[in-house]
Amino acid sequence: MAPAAPYGASLLRGVPRFSMFGDYAILEMLTRFVWSGRTLVGPYSRYRFAHPGPLYFYVLAPVYTLCGGRSVGMFAGALLVNLSAITTVVVAAHRFGSRVHAAAAVVVVWAWLAAFGNVCLNPWNPLVIALPIVAFLVLAAFFARGASFAACPGAFFGALVAQTHVAAVTTVLAVGAAATAVFLRRRRGGLEPGERRHLSIALGILLVTSLPPAIEQVTAQGHGNIRKLLSFFFDRPEPLKPWSSALHDWATATSWLPDRVFRSSLGLEQGVPLPMNWHEMPSTLSCSAVVVALIHVASLVAAALVCLRRHDGRSAAFLVVGASAEAIAISTLRGIVGEHLYYLVFWAAAGNAVAWLGVLSSFASAALDALGWLRPSPRRAAFAVPPPSRGPTCGTSTRRSWTGFAEKATARSCTWTEPGRTPPCSSWSSRRTVFLRISWSAIAGCTGARRRRTTLPGPFTCICRSRTPSSD
């Protein structure tokens, strides 16, 4: 947060009570009306409708009240939203990923703050949704990989983003639906009680946060905000922009993060920050934007090949989600009515950040694995199954060398299911899928079964699935 430190100091000094004007004044008024029950829709739009929902104001209202109803509470609330998104990204990468993914997340977050730290305190809704989009995409990637708990905060951030700015609705709906479909496909055999509980909580969050706009639509007697939104998009005042224009905006937004980091634009910037600039974007692409966009695409392709070669599913999930968000953003940018202004395109940089996260984590994992730093200690792994059995031996999914204790060995995907106990290997957690090398002597009687519960000597229980050595 060092890049945002000067702005934090100005926040502590306070913002004059009546300094808000324009869109900021409207945001503050709607925040004040939360406690009286009059805020049922989102921020006002220049297209004469309101954004889908008021969840953003419900998050700001407690902070605004704690600040004595002064304008400084709006900036403190925006800071809280962005800090929550940053914390979620790093914690989720460490909890559901690995230390490599957590380190890559820290690097990406630091780069974002170094590039756009001067808008982290800005409560304007086109700007405040960027980091929550990053958090939503990261959680969606882990949810698709089978982390059911990620659905709970993912539902909150998805609802926050979709209700605060209508441009991000397609990204939230498409990525959320795809992640849910992939998760359910991976659970075709049925959901466990904990997974049902997590999905129920996520569904409850979506339903509760959807109530205010639904109530407003019903009580408005046919002239509610939802009808205005549908009328605007189905009866557009102008046709969609050409694909070339959308690609131009995407390439420009893609170049902002690395360009501003390496040029230290944050420290040199004076006046209105670039992301909140209300001027029209340039009609021609700069050389740096073209180069950065080409490097970005080439890095995505190279990282995807590395993930396929190493079977790095978590980094691949970042790549797929980030690239999907970018593709959806390009399609959405065609729908801008009127001039293409900087602040209308800023949110599209969130997908780029998640894609860069996938690139960094895949390359870093490959480099560390090549150095041998990711391979667990055989001595530590041997105690994963208590004596007298030493048949199962821990290994990562990237190693193709076999250390079986018999002539034949087969790779099996096993899930430790003992409740309340963490295996001794510090890189594991209970109920986490790991890859074991199990000798035929250790699993006698389990061969030929597609999926069978097998009790190994000691307190651990595993569920075995046959795998060929080439898929390890």
Separation of alpha carbons 245 and 214, rounded Å: 35
Question: Mean pLDDT, to the nearest integer, of 99-110?
Answer: 94
Cα atoms found within 13 Å of the Cα of residue 150, Cβ hemisphere only: 27
Question: Mean pLDDT, to the nearest integer, of 331-352?
Answer: 90
Instruction: Decide if pLDDT at 443 tops 50.
Output: no
Backbone angles phi, psi at 411, to 5 degrees: -85, 135
Instruction: Decide if pLDDT at 391 tops 70.
Output: no
265 touches 259 (CB < 8 A) = yes
167 touches 349 (CB < 8 A) = no
Helix (H, G, I), strand (E, B) or coil at 447: coil
* Predicted local confidence at residue 210, as pLDDT: 95
Percent of the residues in the chain that have a pLDDT greater than 70, as a whole number: 72
Question: Mean pLDDT, to the nearest integer, of 366-395?
Answer: 52
Separation of alpha carbons 217 and 227, rounded Å: 8
248 touches 102 (CB < 8 A) = no
* Predicted local confidence at residue 374, as pLDDT: 64
* Predicted local confidence at residue 268, as pLDDT: 65
152-161, 190-199, 286-295, 364-373, range with greatest mean pLDDT: 152-161
pLDDT in tens, 203-249: 999 999 999 999 999 998 778 899 999 888 888 888 898 999 999 99
* Predicted local confidence at residue 408, as pLDDT: 35
* Predicted local confidence at residue 221, as pLDDT: 79
- Chain-centre distance for alpha carbon 136: 4
More confident residue, 432 or 211: 211
Instruction: Decide if pLDDT at 435 tops 50.
Output: no
Residue 363 tokens, joined: 């390359």
* Predicted local confidence at residue 369, as pLDDT: 87
Question: Mean pLDDT, to the nearest integer, of 105-121?
Answer: 90
The DSSP line for 236-288 is -SSPPPPHHHHHHHHHHHHHHHHHHHHTTHHHH--SS-GGG--SBPPSS--HH
* Predicted local confidence at residue 451, as pLDDT: 38
* Predicted local confidence at residue 424, as pLDDT: 43
Task: pLDDT band for 379, please (50, 70, 90 cuts).
Answer: very low
Residue 158 — left, alpha, or beta (φ > 0 → left; ψ -120 to 50 → alpha)?
A: alpha
Separation of alpha carbons 78 and 15, rounded Å: 14
Cα 271-133-138 angle, rounded to 5 deg: 130
More confident residue, 187 or 198: 198
Sign of the torsion formed by the C-alpha atoms of 267, 272, 278 and 282:
negative
Least confident of 237-246, 306-315, 462-471: 462-471
* Predicted local confidence at residue 398, as pLDDT: 34
Task: pLDDT band for 415, please (50, 70, 90 cuts).
Answer: very low
425-446 b/e with 16+ CB inside 10 Å = b? bebbeeeeebbbbbbbebbeeb
226-235, 350-359, 438-447, 462-471, range with greatest mean pLDDT: 350-359
Question: Mean pLDDT, to the nearest integer, of 3-15?
Answer: 51
Task: pLDDT band for 358, please (50, 70, 90 cuts).
Answer: very high
Instruction: Decide if pLDDT at 394 tops 90.
Output: no
Task: pLDDT band for 409, please (50, 70, 90 cuts).
Answer: very low
Question: Mean pLDDT, to the nearest integer, of 438-450?
Answer: 35
Q: Minimal CA–CA distance to 345: which of 124, 135, 168?
A: 168
Tell me: cis bond preceding 388? Omega within 30 of 0 counts. Answer: yes
- For tokens 């945001």, the residue is 27
Separation of alpha carbons 215 and 227, rounded Å: 13
112 touches 82 (CB < 8 A) = no
pLDDT in tens, 13-23: 555 554 567 78
* Predicted local confidence at residue 340, as pLDDT: 82
More confident residue, 47 or 303: 303
Least confident of 120-129, 308-317, 414-423: 414-423
